[in-house]
Amino acid sequence: MSRTPLETRLRSLAIEPPDDLVARAQARVRAFGRPRHRLTPALVAALVAAALVVLATANEAAAYLVPAYGRSIADTPLGLLTQPLLRAGGQTAEQVTPIGTTVTSAGHSIQLVGAYADGLQTTIYLQVDGQPLAAPATPTGKVVGDRYLAAMELTDDAGHRYQARGSSGSSVTEFEPLRGPAARSGVRLTLRVTSLRDLSVAPRSKQDAPPRVDGNWAFHFTLKQRPAVDLPLPTPLTIRDTTYTFTSIRAADTMAVKIKVSGGAVTRWSQIRPGPGGPPPGTMEPYRVELYNAAGVAQRIGFGSFGGDQIDASWVLDGSGRYRLHVGPEQGGADYWFDVPRA
Amino acid sequence: MSTLDEAILADAGPDPAVRIGIDELCDRYAARVYRFAALLSRSGPDAEDLAQSALERAIRALPRTELRTESVEGWLWRIVVNTARDAGRAAKRRQLLLERLLAHGPPETTALDIEDAIGDEELLHAVRNLSRRQRTLVALRFGADLDYARIAAMLGISPGAARLATRRALLALRARLEVRQ
């Protein structure tokens, strides 16, 4: 059968898997285990050995090629932070403040590996019982996450309490940005983990929750908050029968955009009836927002809430530079350029 | 019995039975799984997440019995496609806008020699902007390198429909590339 040039190009696309892809998959299997009846001591030993060899090789190679990475894995607990984990929050290992304090309670040891704060988020990295840290759920949805789900609260000595905004387990939890004195100087923060749920234990019924262990794991630390900048707000935009009013655009290592929507799109949204198949075609098009870097590469969305009278989205940025925000339908929408300074 | 199982059982011929191990599984299939994920996902990090999850699931579910080589392929790609489906469902739960609900009319064909004028990155970008179903077809055909019979079994359609749908996906891709030109 003859192939078109386009088919030939697709088959020859240069797509190389990351060097550590297999090691990461095997490490997660090692962490969470395979079904008991399939495990044999020989298989476990082989799997652990293979994963350790690959991981050690990858770490040695990275340490050789990137001296800064070598220092970080040698001197701090930040070597526990994998690239997918850091990338989900838009950080690099160098931006995370290493802490490394370990507290044991109720038979479980929790290490506060590190923390990060900027004007848009405060991120906490934890390790429980020496388990590998797992990347959080992503827009494409990680199927398997952490072994443990941690309940925690973050407060500061100035009396502020910070709400957690997202967590799929214990490894990484995002809180709202620090406020008041804590945002300006090194006011002491307290992270208190109050319980752990073991997600690897299957509940006895659909109504059962995973078993919970209550404890008191308290960590005290300080953080320097990286600044977020307010970017200029465009004037209100009208596309067909829908008006978009920009209420906030801020950037740090992520870029957060809030838009109030009014008019026809909101009316059509309110008429959606629940049912299979999702919204009628075209209903969501007015709520389309995309962010591209100067090279035209779409940025990874970190959080998104679309529909009704609002668009609230954030993206993990490649770095400082120019970015293009597209609002509205692909054809007929509007584009805005922003200069994001180095944080 | 699923359509895929029936397709697997229908695989006849002198294909030797094998018992595949973790290392062999990863050596033989990791690159193809990643190609599939790279063509299906919206971004590179999402592709890594999907490929990692699919491999992890496959390692966990390694068959205890011997399978024909063809059956290994069917078993593996069923896991990979199911992982992608779960990822898609999770995406819908997390953000309603992920499925772009674009309605493309039949693209017009032109004689532009776009294949020679575009780079790999631009071609991948165009693939990632196709609808999810179109991306799935392109990823199964050109990422996983599956024939139409197996694609049909994965998607629960006839081989003819799989061929036609893939053709339409390619036309949509070409239309996008021509617009970008």
DSSP per-residue letters across B15-62 = PPEE---HHHHHHHHHHHHHHHHHHHSSSHHHHHHHHHHHHHHHHHT-
What's the longest Cα–Cα distance across chain A? Answer: 72
Residue B11 or residue A182, greater confidence:
A182
3-state secondary structure at position B65: coil
Kindly report the number of other CB atoms within 10 A of residue A270's CB atom.
10
Q: Give yes or no: residues A282 and A209 share one domain.
A: no
Paired residues of A151 in beta bridges: A195
Query: What is the residue whose two structure tokens read 């090692």?
Result: A30
3-state secondary structure at position B4: helix
- Of the given ranges (A70-84, B4-18, B148-162), which has the lowest mean pLDDT? B4-18
Give the C-alpha separation, A237 to A244, whole Å.
5
Chain B residues 149-168 with a CB less than 8 Å from chain A: none
Q: Give yes or no: residues A22 and A128 share one domain.
A: no
Contacts of A282 in chain B (CB under 8 A): 101, 103
Paired residues of A324 in beta bridges: A292, A337
Question: According to the per-residue pLDDT averaged within each range, which of A145-149, B92-96, B174-178 is highest?
Answer: B174-178
Contacts of B93 in chain A (CB under 8 A): 141
Quick one: average pLDDT of A254-271?
88
- Give me the long-range contacts of A28-32 (CB less than 8 A, separation at least 24): A28/A132, A28/A134, A28/A144, A28/B52, A28/B56, A29/B56, A29/B59, A29/B60, A31/A131, A31/A132, A31/A134, A31/A147, A32/A144, A32/A147, A32/A200
- Predicted confidence (pLDDT) at residue B146 exceeds the cutoff of 70: yes
Q: Which helix (DSSP H) or strand (DSSP E) does residue A243 occupy?
A: strand A242-251
**Best to test chain B binding among A16, A19, A22 (most B CBs inside 10 Å):** A22
User: For residue A112, how far is the Cα from the chain centroid?
Assistant: 17
Where a domain ends, among A65, A87, A119? A65
- Residue A281 and residue B103: Cβ atoms within 8 Å? yes
- Predicted confidence (pLDDT) at residue A308 exceeds the cutoff of 50: yes
Question: According to the per-residue pLDDT averaged within each range, which of A173-187, A253-267, B51-65 is highest?
Answer: A253-267
Where a domain ends, among A65, A99, A116? A65
Backbone angles phi, psi at A334, to 5 degrees: -120, 150
User: Is the CB of residue A142 less than 8 Å away from at least one CB of chain B?
Assistant: yes
- Of the given ranges (A12-26, A73-87, A130-144, B34-48), which has the lowest mean pLDDT? A130-144
Nearest chain A Cα to B51, which residue?
Answer: A21
Nearest chain A Cα to B135, which residue?
Answer: A10
Q: Give yes or no: residues A82 and A159 share one domain.
A: yes
- Residue A34 and residue B59: Cβ atoms within 8 Å? yes
pLDDT at A228: 87
Quick one: average pLDDT of A301-324?
80
Q: Give yes or no: residues A270 and A295 share one domain.
A: yes
- Residue B170 and residue A6: Cβ atoms within 8 Å? yes
**Option in B59, B96, B113 nearest A306 (CB):** B96
User: Is the CB of residue B34 less than 8 Å away from at least one CB of chain A?
Assistant: yes
Domain count, chain A: 3
Range of the domain at A290: 229-340
- Predicted confidence (pLDDT) at residue A247 exceeds the cutoff of 90: yes
Residue A236 or residue A283, greater confidence:
A236
Give the gap in angstroms from C-alpha B6 to the nearest C-alpha of chain A. 26
Q: Give yes or no: residues A242 and A314 share one domain.
A: yes
- Of the given ranges (A29-43, A78-92, B50-64), which has the lowest mean pLDDT? A29-43
Residue A106 or residue B91, greater confidence:
A106
Q: ipTM greater than 0.95, yes or no?
A: no
Q: Give yes or no: residues A40 and A121 share one domain.
A: no
Q: Give yes or no: residues A244 and A176 share one domain.
A: no
Q: Which of B65, B54, B45 is nearest to B144 (CA)?
A: B54
Q: What does the CA dihedral B164, B165, B166, B167 come to, rounded to 10 degrees? A: 50
Q: Give yes or no: residues A244 and A291 share one domain.
A: yes
Q: Note the pLDDT tens digit of each residue in B25-60.
A: 788 888 888 888 888 887 777 788 888 888 888 877
| Cα torsion A76, A77, A83, A89: sign | negative
Query: Which pairing describes strands A148-156 and A189-198: parallel, antiparallel, or unpaired?
Result: antiparallel
Give the C-alpha separation, B43 to A98, whole Å.
29
Inter-chain Cβ pairs, chain A and chain B, closer than 8 A: 169
Answer for the pair A94, A67: CB distance below 8 angstroms, yes or no.
no
Give the C-alpha separation, B131 to B136, whole Å.
9
Q: Give yes or no: residues A85 and A214 share one domain.
A: yes
Query: What is the residue whose two structure tokens read 């387990």?
Result: A169
Structure tokens at B27: 């050596």
CATH number of the domain enclosing A167: 2.60.40
- Residue A10 and residue B142: Cβ atoms within 8 Å? yes
Please give the model's pTM, rounded to 2 decimal places: 0.46
- Residue B115 and residue A16: Cβ atoms within 8 Å? no
Quick one: average pLDDT of A117-122?
87
Q: Give yes or no: residues A208 and A79 share one domain.
A: yes
pLDDT band at residue A300 using 50, 70 and 90 as cut-offs: confident
Q: Give yes or no: residues A211 and A265 share one domain.
A: no
Where a domain ends, among A199, A221, A243? A221
Nearest chain A Cα to B98, which residue?
Answer: A139
Give the gap in angstroms from C-alpha B56 to the nearest C-alpha of chain A. 5
Query: Which pairing describes strands A148-156 and A161-162: parallel, antiparallel, or unpaired?
Result: antiparallel
Give the C-alpha separation, B158 to B41, whole Å.
25
Q: Give yes or no: residues A42 and A148 share one domain.
A: no
Our CA angle for A174, A180, A182, nearest 5°, is: 60
3-state secondary structure at position B142: helix
